[in-house]
Amino acid sequence: MPLTKEKLLTSVRKTFRMFLRLFPVLLGVMLISSLVIELIPTLIANGALGHGHFIDMLIADAIGSIAAAQPVISYLLAGELQKAGVDLYAVTTFIIAWVTVGFIPLPVEAMMLGWRFAAWRNLIAFIMAMIVAWLTVATLRV
- pLDDT tens digit string along 74-133? 777 787 778 777 888 888 998 899 888 888 788 888 888 899 999 999 999 999 999 999
pLDDT at 140 exceeding the cut of 70: yes
The number of folded domains in the chain is 1
pLDDT greater at residue 85 or residue 137:
137
For the whole model, what pTM was predicted?
0.69
Domain assignment of residue 111, given as a range: 5-140
Cα–Cα nearest to 126, from 88, 99, 89: 99
pLDDT greater at residue 65 or residue 71:
65
Q: What angle do CA 129, 134, 139 make, to 5 degrees?
A: 130
